[in-house]
Amino acid sequence: MNHSNHQTLTVNGGIYTICDGNGDKNISFSECYKCVTDAIAADGLSTFICEIPVLGWASCFASKSATCIVLSSVY
């Protein structure tokens, strides 16, 4: 784990400002998943890719889940 990067995000608010829905400085899996889903929805190309039946759904679900397992364990 890169502690300097974590420290930068903590000091600047970074990911907590964006994804910490309840403001407790702890990003749960569900908060992360909502944040990532919202980010994908804000980008047309990502939304298009994630809406491709089966392949898109599976890859987006797996990517979002893996990302949020890591982020929720670190933050």
Query: If you average pLDDT over every residue of the chain, what do you get?
Result: 81
DSSP code, position 1:
-
Cα–Cα distance, 72 to 6 (Å, whole number): 13
The pTM of this model reads 0.71
Local confidence band at 8 (pLDDT 50, 70, 90 cut-offs): very low
Q: Compute the CA torsion angle 9, 16, 30, 35 (nearest 10 deg).
A: -90
- The pLDDT tens digits of the residues spanning 43-58 come to 888 889 888 988 888 9
Burial of 27 (0-12, 13-18, 19+ CB in 10 A): buried
